[in-house]
Amino acid sequence: MFRELSEWMCKRMNLIFLGDVVGKGGRSAVTKLLPELKREFNAQFAVVNGENSAAGAGLSASCVRELLTVAEVVTGGDHTWDQKEFPREITSLDRMVRPANFSNRHPGSGMGIFQHPGSGEVAVISLVGKVFMKDSAYCPFETVEKLLSQIPSRVKSVVVDFHAEATSEKLAMGHFLDGKVTAVFGTHTHVQTADARVLPSGTAYITDAGMCGADASVLGREIPAVLEKFTIGLPNRLPVVEKGLFRVDGAAVSYDHLTGKALKITPFSRFVEI
C-alpha cells in the first residue's frame, strides 16, 4: 500500500530504450515501431543504440539522422568508428553520444543532457566494457563516477547504456550505479536477457536490451554465412539481413522525475514486416 501511494504521489514519467539497431532493415523497423511504442508506454523520450545501423558495422550521419526522426538520442558502442567518415561527421550530431571511456582525443561526447518534454532534463551516458572488449578503453567504472560528478544537481534523471560483452561486468555496473542513476541498459550481445528489474536503491536494470534486426538471423546476419563461419572457420562475409520479419527489442522505464528513481521496467519485443 505504501509503495502504491508513493507511486501515485510522485511525478511519474516514462522513457524507452531500444537495443542495437542492425542495418537498413533495423532502422526501418525502428522508424515504423518506435512511434507506436511511445504511444503504448506513454513515453516522450527514447534512446536508441545505433552502433550497427550503417550496413551492420558502425554509424553514419545519415543513419543517425534517420533514427533521430523518431528517437531523442542515439548511442554508440565498440563499432562507433567502423565507418571511416564518422569521426568527422559526429561533430555535427548534437544528439549522438559515443562511449565516454574512449580517449578524450576522440571526437564527439560521451555524455549529453537532453530535454524530456514535460519533465525537465535527462542525462544520457554511453560506456563500453573492457572484459573481452577493447583494451584501449578506459575503466568504465572510474569514467562514469567522474561523469556523474559533473551533472548539474537540477538533472535528476540519468540513463546509462553500458555496451559490454560480459554479463558479469554489466551486472556489476548495475549494482555500482544503483541509486545513482535512473536506469542501466546493457547492450552489445543482441539477445534480450530475462533479468529486467528495479534494483534495491531505485535503478532500473537489464543485462541486455536485445536488438532491432531481422528475426530469422544470427544477431542480424544471414544464417547460412554465420553457419559457414562457425563450421568451416575460413574468413567470409556476414551479410546483414535487410528484408523479412524484423524484431524491435527494448525496455520501457517508469520513473519519478523529481528524484530520478525508477519505479518499473518493462522489457518488450515487437515485430514488423520490412
Kindly give the confidence (pLDDT) of every residue in the chain, 274 residues in length, as a single tens digit, with 9 standing for 90 and above.
445 545 545 689 999 999 999 999 999 999 999 999 999 999 999 999 999 999 999 999 999 999 999 999 999 999 999 999 999 999 999 999 999 999 999 999 999 999 987 768 999 999 999 999 877 899 999 999 999 999 999 999 999 999 999 999 999 999 999 999 999 999 999 999 999 999 999 999 999 999 999 999 999 999 999 999 999 999 899 999 999 999 999 999 999 999 999 999 999 999 999 9
As annotated, the active-site residues are: 79
Cα(62)–Cα(28) distance, integer angstroms? 13
Q: Tens digits of per-residue pLDDT, 117-174? A: 776 899 999 999 999 987 789 999 999 999 999 999 999 999 999 999 999 999 999 9
- First CA to last CA across the chain, in angstroms? 45
Rounded to an integer, what distance in angstroms lies between the CA atom of residue 62 and that of residue 60? Answer: 5
- The 3-state DSSP class for residue 190 equals coil
Nearest alpha-carbon partner for 176 in 150, 151, 140, 149: 140
- Rounded CA gap, 138 and 104, in Å? 10
Domains in the chain, start-ordered, CATH in brackets?
2-267 (3.60.21.10)
Are the C-beta atoms of 250 and 29 separated by less than 8 Å? no
pTM for this predicted structure: 0.95
Burial bucket for residue 230 (CB in 10 Å: 0-12, 13-18, 19+): exposed
